[in-house]
Structure formats: structure tokens, C-alpha cells
Amino acid sequence: MAIDRPPVLYLSHGAPPLADDPQWTRELADWASALPRPRAILVISAHWEEAPLTLGATTTVPLVYDFWGFPERYYRVTYPAPGAPELAAKVTALLRSSDTPVHHDPTRGLDHGAYVPLKEMFPAADIPVLQVSMPSLDPTTLFDLGRKLAPLRDEGVLIIGSGFFTHNLSALSTSVDGPPPAWSVEFDHWGTETLAKGDIDTVLDFQHKAPAAALAHPRTEHFAPLFVALGAHDATHAPRTVIDGFWFGLAKRSLQLD
């Protein structure tokens, strides 16, 4: 049977309360419904940095509620997706063939960068999911990681980089739909234009090339999953925006990379 080759996604996942936004949840659901059904999902989240690269649980284990100070209901969310031991074995083989060290943490569940969007996109939780850590925040290292993982797409694996297109929690707007700050708008516009041109080298050097880079990303972990996605995608196609707009002033731009 022929396998539909999934695109690669970079999505802005937000804090758990973003799941209360009916527009965002509808956009994610509509996006998923337009994709070929993946055989498995591989997630690289802004919320897991660990070196060497580490594979998460390959069985269904409790979620990682890696946030603080929210109402109790956010800690009761479940997403019992099947583990993906076959995918883990393939990831391990691909990476070790290029001398990339790989570890495995059988107790590490999905963090909110993974399960919050997946719950909206694939609510039945019936597709095997594997999360892997970012072994570095270096853009070139992560881009190369994406290139190594790209062959998984030919086997029906959906690769998702989950972060936020701008991310400065100390400079949030005071209301969810208030006017975004200039630094967030400028960075979002620059990123969109640069990606549309296919200028990947400039995107990788965003800390030196982008306007307001230090304000948009005081720490770069939420932009970093984009580099993995860029490495895994077919560079002959420019990334396409599926979700845009702002949430408390942060750009929630999300991209499909075919």
C-alpha cells in the first residue's frame, strides 16, 4: 500500500490556556483534517532540552505538566497516545548511522509542547507518538538533525517542531487580543518574509539578522524547533503559513513545510 508522505510542521503551541481559545483549537483541528493521516508522530518541543539527544517513553506513561500556577483543571488533562517503539528504533538507527549519540528515557512522558496541540489535532489519541529532546539550541546542529530525520517522512511519520514564533513572557501584552508590541510584529514580519524567500541561512542566523531578535526570543528554545523542521523539509517548497495572529502579543505563526 502506498504511503502518503506527510509534510513537516512548525507550530506555536502556547501555554495550556491557549487550548481555551476556540479559534486556535478550530484552526488546529482543521489543519490536521487536511493532512494525510500519519502512521506515527515525532515531536521536538521547546520544553525538552537534553544532551545527548534522548528519546522519550515508548509506552504510554503520564504526561509532563511542565508549568506552574495554573488552575487545577490544566493538570487533569490526559492524552494517552500509544507509544512508538518502532519509530524509536528507526530514529536510533538513523542517528547512530551518522555517529549521533542517542539515549533513551523510558519514564519521560509528553510535555505540554507536545500534548496540548496534539489533543486538538488528533483528539482520539490513537496515533503513536514519540518525543525527542533538543540536544542543543545551536541552529545548525538542529537543522542537521532535521536532515537526518527527514527519511522518516517517506514512512508516513509526521515530524512536528513545537515552539512559539515569538516568545518573551516578561513582555506579554496585558490582554489576549490587545495590540501586539512592535518587536513582536517586526520579528514576525521578518521571519515570514525571510522564509518565503527560502533564505534558510539568514533564518539560522536570526540572532544577528532579525529585528528585535533579543526581545522576540530572550532565550531561543521556542524558535529552535523551527530549525529541525527546516532541515526535514523539501527545500524546493517555501514554508506556508497555516495559522497567524497574536496571543497576548506573541506571534502564533504556524507553518507547513511540504
Of the candidates 120, 33, 18, 127, the one whose C-alpha atom is nearest the C-alpha of residue 74 is 18
The values of phi and psi at residue 57, to 5°, are -60, 145
Indicate the range of 125-129, 171-175, 222-226 predicted with least confidence.
171-175
Distance (Å, rounded) from C-alpha 203 to C-alpha 13? 20
Cell numbers placing 249: 502579543
150: in domain: yes
The mean pLDDT value for 243-252 works out to 95
Mean pLDDT of the chain: 95
Largest distance between two CA atoms of the chain? 52
Q: Would you place residue 191 in the very low, low, confident or very high pLDDT band (cuts 50, 70, 90)?
A: very high
Q: What is the mean pLDDT of residues 5-30?
A: 92
Q: Please tell me the distance from the alpha carbon of residue 122 to that of residue 11, in angstroms, as a whole number.
A: 14
**What does the pLDDT read at residue 177?**
81
DSSP annotation of 223 reads T
- Specify if 195 maps to a domain: yes
CATH no. for residue 161?
A: 3.40.830.10
How far is 39 from 84, CA to CA, in rounded Å?
10
Kindly report the backbone phi and psi dihedral angles of residue 89, in degrees, each rounded to the nearest multiple of 5, phi listed first: -65, -40
Q: Tell me how many domains the chain contains.
A: 1
- What pLDDT does residue 236 have? 81
Q: What is the pLDDT of residues 145-184, one digit of tens each?
A: 999 999 999 999 999 999 999 999 888 887 878 899 999 9
Confidence of residue 14 (pLDDT cuts 50, 70, 90): confident
List, for residues 174-187, the tens digit of each pLDDT value: 787 889 999 999 99
Average pLDDT over residues 219-227: 98
**Would you say residue 22 has pLDDT above 60?**
yes
Cα separation of 215 and 156, whole Å?
37
Percent of the chain with pLDDT over 90: 89
Q: What is the pTM of this model?
A: 0.97
Q: Is residue 3 part of a domain?
A: no
Question: Rounded to 10 degrees, what is the CA torsion of 8, 100, 140, 153?
Answer: -10
Tens of pLDDT along 32-88? Answer: 999 999 999 999 999 999 999 999 999 999 999 999 889 999 999 999 999 999 999
Q: Is 172 in contact with 249 (CB distance < 8 Å)? A: yes
Are 222 and 10 within 8 A, CB to CB? no
pLDDT at 209: 98
pLDDT tier at 2 (50, 70, 90 boundaries)?
low
Q: What's the confidence (pLDDT) of residue 148?
A: 98
**1 within some domain:** no
What tens digit of pLDDT does each residue of 74-95 get? 999 999 999 999 999 999 999 9
Find the domain containing 221 and state its range. Answer: 8-257
Residue 19's pLDDT band (boundaries 50, 70, 90)? confident
44 with 225: CB under 8 angstroms? yes
Looking at residue 7, what is its pLDDT? 97
